């Protein structure tokens, strides 16, 4: 019998375990019980995790694969006792790409159509028409062209915004001008007024949204970060907003979450924040994907989503 252990910070583990067990009646699925050795099906074959307890890997030493309940694996890879010879598998989509496309497209259109200003006019009882905006004046750089990034780029292009996609390695996406490498990043930013960060967090992308890069954007720009808080240098963003080079920032992720009450982002008039909700993990779609991958592994078949630890995604 296949043994699966579930260990995720927060949420109702019981619901996840019951639904995964229903999808895999041939397996034994149990929740990890911290501090209670032997109660969670010791020596599991597979682990399904999100910010797991460190002792999980000390107690389960014959894992064949570790499934991460999300697309980002930076926190998991940073765990010092993560088994070195066990495959780490990230989610491919599981309903997240359409959510991210909704979120980013909403933020872009709200900015380009000046809807915030119309809302202010309404509160002040002003009936005021503004000069129409042209999509060609708001080219967009989408940083990160994985499954989610590609969906976001195509969604924005569907509204006829000029879109430049950037990734570490060369990609090809219909309707998107794809750039790559350091030179490609400079070109994408220099031609854009809006930047959307959907990159995995790696040593190469940490602090990529810094003053040196953000200054390359066309004046009056918008920064949207839906990837990881560590991509953004907070002080650089504040300085560029205060100088007027940037007009707005929409942030869904932060270096510390929840964001401390004393952080200046809370009170800055040009910053819109949400609490890491741009793309939520959908339980049913996630468990269907994981259960199918476990079945394939048990049959000796290949699966998608295995993380390249050297690249960090």
Question: Same domain for 15 and 26?
Answer: yes
Q: Which residues contact 98 (CB under 8 A, 6 or more apart)?
A: 151
DSSP characters for the chain?
Answer: -EEEEEEESSS-HHHHHHHHHHH-TTEEEEE--TT-TTSS-SS-SEEEEES--THHHHH----SEEEESSS--HHHHT-TTS-TTSEEE----TTHHHHHHHHHHHHHHHHHTTHHHHHHHHHTT-----PPP-GGG--EEEE--SHHHHHHHHHHHHTT--EEEEESS---BTTBEEEEHHHHHHHHHHT-SEEEE-PPP-TTTTT-BSHHHHTTSPSSEEEEE-S-GGGB-HHHHHHHHHHTSEEEEEES--SSSSPPTT-GGGG-TTEEE-SS-SSPPPHHHHHHHHHHHHHHHHTT---S-B--TTTT-
Give yes or no for residue 211 having a pLDDT over 80. Answer: yes
Question: Same domain for 129 and 253?
Answer: yes
Q: Which residues contact 117 (CB under 8 A, 6 or more apart)?
A: 130
Give yes or no for residue 41 having a pLDDT over 60. Answer: no
Active site residue 228: yes
Question: Same domain for 157 and 252?
Answer: yes
Q: Is residue 312 part of a domain?
A: no
Q: Are 80 and 38 in contact (CB under 8 A)?
A: no
Question: Same domain for 160 and 239?
Answer: yes
Give pLDDT, residue 70. Answer: 87
Active site residue 180: no
- Give first-to-last CA distance, the chain, whole Å: 31
Question: 80-96 pLDDT, tens per residue?
Answer: 999 999 999 999 888 89
Q: Is residue 86 part of a domain?
A: yes
Query: Which residue among 187, 263, 276, 283 is the active-site one?
Result: 276
Give yes or no for residue 28 having a pLDDT over 90. Answer: yes
Question: Same domain for 25 and 127?
Answer: no
Specify the number of domains making up the chain: 2
Question: Same domain for 88 and 203?
Answer: no
Question: 148-206 pLDDT, tens per residue?
Answer: 999 999 999 999 999 999 999 999 999 999 999 999 999 999 999 999 999 999 999 99
Question: 114-134 pLDDT, tens per residue?
Answer: 999 999 999 999 999 999 999
Q: Is residue 49 part of a domain?
A: yes
Question: Same domain for 75 and 167?
Answer: no
Question: Same domain for 53 and 178?
Answer: no
Q: Is 126 exposed, middle or buried (0-12, 13-18, 19+ CB in 10 A)?
A: exposed
Q: Is residue 304 part of a domain?
A: no
Q: Is residue 182 part of a domain?
A: yes
Q: How confident is the model at residue 36 (pLDDT cuts 50, 70, 90)?
A: low
Question: Same domain for 143 and 162?
Answer: yes
Q: Is residue 305 part of a domain?
A: no
Can you give the pTM of this predicted structure?
A: 0.92
CATH of the domain at 65: 3.40.50.720
Q: Is residue 101 part of a domain?
A: yes
Give yes or no for residue 40 having a pLDDT over 70. Answer: no
Give pLDDT, residue 44. Answer: 95
Give pLDDT, residue 10. Answer: 77
Question: 224-271 pLDDT, tens per residue?
Answer: 999 999 999 999 999 999 999 999 999 999 999 999 999 999 999 999
Q: How confident is the model at residue 43 (pLDDT cuts 50, 70, 90)?
A: confident
The domain in which residue 177 lies consists of 96-273
Question: Same domain for 145 and 36?
Answer: no
Query: Which residue among 228, 231, 268, 296 is the active-site one?
Result: 228
Average confidence score pLDDT of the chain = 95
Dist. CA 184–CA 165, nearest whole Å: 9
Question: Same domain for 30 and 133?
Answer: no
Q: Is residue 310 part of a domain?
A: no
Give pLDDT, residue 246. Answer: 98
Question: Same domain for 152 and 241?
Answer: yes
Q: Are 144 and 198 in contact (CB under 8 A)?
A: yes
């Amino acid at each position: 019998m296949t043994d699966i252990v579930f260990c995720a910070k927060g949420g109702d583990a019981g619901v996840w375990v019951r639904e995964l067990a229903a999808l895999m009646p041939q397996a034994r699925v149990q929740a990890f019980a911290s501090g209670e050795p032997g109660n969670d099906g010791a020596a599991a074959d597979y682990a399904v995790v999100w910010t797991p307890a460190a002792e999980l890997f000390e107690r389960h030493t014959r894992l064949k694969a570790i499934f991460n309940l999300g697309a980002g694996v930076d926190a998991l890879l940073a765990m010092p006792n993560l088994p070195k010879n066990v495959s780490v598998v990230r989610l491919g989509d599981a309903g997240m790409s359409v959510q991210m496309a909704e979120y980013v497209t909403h933020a872009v259109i709200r900015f380009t159509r000046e809807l915030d200003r119309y809302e202010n006019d309404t509160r002040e009882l002003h009936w005021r028409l503004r000069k129409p905006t042209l999509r060609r004046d708001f080219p967009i750089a989408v940083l990160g062209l994985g499954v989610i990034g590609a969906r976001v780029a195509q969604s924005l292009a569907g509204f006829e915004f000029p879109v430049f996609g950037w990734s570490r390695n060369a990609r090809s996406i219909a309707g998107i001008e794809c750039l790559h490498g350091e030179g490609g990043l400079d070109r994408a930013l220099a031609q854009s007024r809006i930047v959307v960060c959907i990159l995995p967090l790696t040593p190469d992308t940490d602090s990529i949204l810094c003053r040196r890069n953000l200054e390359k954007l066309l004046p009056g720009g918008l920064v949207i970060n839906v990837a990881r808080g560590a991509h953004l240098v907070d002080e650089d963003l504040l300085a560029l907003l205060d100088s007027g080079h940037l007009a707005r920032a929409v942030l869904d992720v932060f270096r510390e979450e929840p964001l401390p009450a004393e952080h200046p982002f809370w009170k800055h008039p040009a910053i819109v924040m949400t609490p890491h909700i741009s793309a939520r993990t959908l339980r049913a779609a996630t468990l269907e994907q994981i259960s199918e991958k476990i079945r394939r592994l048990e049959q000796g078949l290949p699966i998608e989503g295995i993380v390249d630890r050297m690249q960090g995604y």
